[in-house]
A and B are shown apart, each in its own frame.
Chain A
Amino acid sequence: MLLAWAPQGHEVIVKLIHHVAGSLGEEVKIMDFCGTHEHTIVSSGIRSLMPENVELVAGPGCPVCITPAFYVDAAIKLAMDGVRVYTYGDVYNLPGSEPPGSKKPRTLADAKAQGADVVIVYGLIEAIKHFRENPKESVFLAVGFETTAPSTASAVVNGRLPREFTIINVHRLTPPIMRYTFEAHRDAPIKGVIAPGHVSTIVGAMAWEFVPKEYGIPTVVAGFEPIDVLKAILSILIMVREGKARLVNEYTRAVTWEGNKRAQKLIAECCEVVDAMWRGLGLVPESGLAFRDKYKVYDALREYGIREPTPEEWKYDLPPGCRCAEVTLGLAKPTDCPLFMKRCTPGTPYGPCMVSSEGACAVWARFGGGGLADDVAKSLGLTPS
Chain B
Amino acid sequence: MCLGVPGKVVEVRSDGVARVEFSDGVVVEVDASTIEGIEPGDTVIVHAGIVIAKVDEEEASRITSGLEELIQDLESKAEDFESMLRRLGAIKG
Report which A residues bind B (CB closer than 8 A).
2-4, 6, 8-9, 12-13, 15-16, 19-20, 22-23, 34-36, 39, 61-64, 88-91, 121-126, 129, 143-144, 147-148, 150-151, 154-155, 158, 197-198, 201-202, 223-225, 227-228, 231, 234, 252-255, 260, 262-263, 266, 356-358
A202 and B53 alpha carbons, distance in the complex (Å)? 8
Known: A125-B29, A147-B47, A148-B47. A3 touches B64 (CB 8 A): yes
Known: A2-B6, A155-B31. A64 touches B1 (CB 8 A): yes
- Closest Cβ–Cβ distance, residue A4 to chain B (whole Å): 5
Instruction: Indicate if the CB atoms of B34 and A260 lie closer than 8 Å.
Output: yes
- Closest Cβ–Cβ distance, residue A141 to chain B (whole Å): 11
Instruction: Indicate if the CB atoms of B90 and A123 lie closer than 8 Å.
Output: no
Q: In the complex, which residues of chain B have a beta carbon less than 8 angstroms from the beta carbon of A147?
A: 2, 4, 47-48, 52
Instruction: Indicate if the CB atoms of B1 and A15 lie closer than 8 Å.
Output: no
Instruction: Indicate if the CB atoms of B16 and A253 lie closer than 8 Å.
Output: no
CB-nearest residue of chain A to B47: A147
Instruction: Indicate if the CB atoms of A3 and B60 lie closer than 8 Å.
Output: yes
Interface string of B44-58 (1 = CB under 8 A from A): 010111101101100
Interface size of B by CB at 8 A reads 43
Instruction: Indicate if the CB atoms of A358 and B31 lie closer than 8 Å.
Output: no
What are some 22 contacts across the A-B interface (CB < 8 A)? A2-B55, A6-B64, A6-B67, A9-B67, A15-B78, A19-B78, A19-B81, A36-B4, A90-B2, A122-B48, A124-B49, A143-B1, A151-B50, A154-B33, A155-B31, A201-B4, A231-B70, A234-B74, A253-B55, A253-B62, A255-B53, A262-B33
Name the one of B1, B29, B53 contacting A144, with C-beta atoms under 8 angstroms: B1
A256 and B73 alpha carbons, distance in the complex (Å)? 24
Given A19-B78, A144-B1, 11 new contacts (CB under 8 A): A2-B43, A15-B78, A16-B77, A16-B78, A39-B3, A62-B2, A147-B2, A148-B1, A148-B47, A150-B52, A266-B34
- Closest Cβ–Cβ distance, residue A35 to chain B (whole Å): 5
CB-nearest residue of chain B to A123: B49
Instruction: Indicate if the CB atoms of B1 and A4 lie closer than 8 Å.
Output: no
Instruction: Indicate if the CB atoms of B55 and A254 lie closer than 8 Å.
Output: yes
Q: In the complex, which residues of chain A have a beta carbon less than 8 angstroms from the beta carbon of B77?
A: 16
Instruction: Indicate if the CB atoms of A12 and B1 lie closer than 8 Å.
Output: no
Instruction: Indicate if the CB atoms of B52 and A263 lie closer than 8 Å.
Output: yes
Q: Top 3 nearest A-B pairs by Cβ distance?
A: A123-B49, A253-B59, A201-B53
Instruction: Indicate if the CB atoms of A13 and B64 lie closer than 8 Å.
Output: no
- Closest Cβ–Cβ distance, residue A107 to chain B (whole Å): 15
Instruction: Indicate if the CB atoms of A20 and B81 lie closer than 8 Å.
Output: yes
Report which B residues bind A (CB closer than 8 A).
1-4, 6, 16-17, 28-31, 33-36, 43, 45, 47-50, 52-53, 55-56, 59-60, 62-64, 67, 70-71, 74-75, 77-78, 81-82, 84-85, 88, 90
- Closest Cβ–Cβ distance, residue A119 to chain B (whole Å): 13
Q: In the complex, which residues of chain B have a beta carbon less than 8 angstroms from the beta carbon of A228?
A: 63
Instruction: Indicate if the CB atoms of B49 and A121 lie closer than 8 Å.
Output: yes
Q: In the complex, which residues of chain A have a beta carbon less than 8 angstroms from the beta carbon of B78?
A: 12, 15-16, 19
Instruction: Indicate if the CB atoms of B34 and A154 lie closer than 8 Å.
Output: yes
Instruction: Indicate if the CB atoms of A260 and B49 lie closer than 8 Å.
Output: no
- Closest Cβ–Cβ distance, residue B67 to chain A (whole Å): 5
Known: A124-B49, A144-B48, A255-B53. A16 touches B3 (CB 8 A): no
Q: In the complex, which residues of chain B have a beta carbon less than 8 angstroms from the beta carbon of A254?
A: 45, 53, 55-56
Q: In the complex, which residues of chain A have a beta carbon less than 8 angstroms from the beta carbon of B1?
A: 63-64, 88-91, 143-144, 148, 356, 358
- Closest Cβ–Cβ distance, residue A314 to chain B (whole Å): 25
Instruction: Indicate if the CB atoms of B63 and A225 lie closer than 8 Å.
Output: yes
Known: A198-B4, A198-B45. A123 touches B31 (CB 8 A): yes
Known: A158-B33, A254-B56, A262-B34. A125 touches B48 (CB 8 A): no
Instruction: Indicate if the CB atoms of B71 and A9 lie closer than 8 Å.
Output: yes
- Closest Cβ–Cβ distance, residue A359 to chain B (whole Å): 9
A154 and B48 alpha carbons, distance in the complex (Å)? 13
Known: A36-B4, A151-B49. A9 touches B70 (CB 8 A): yes
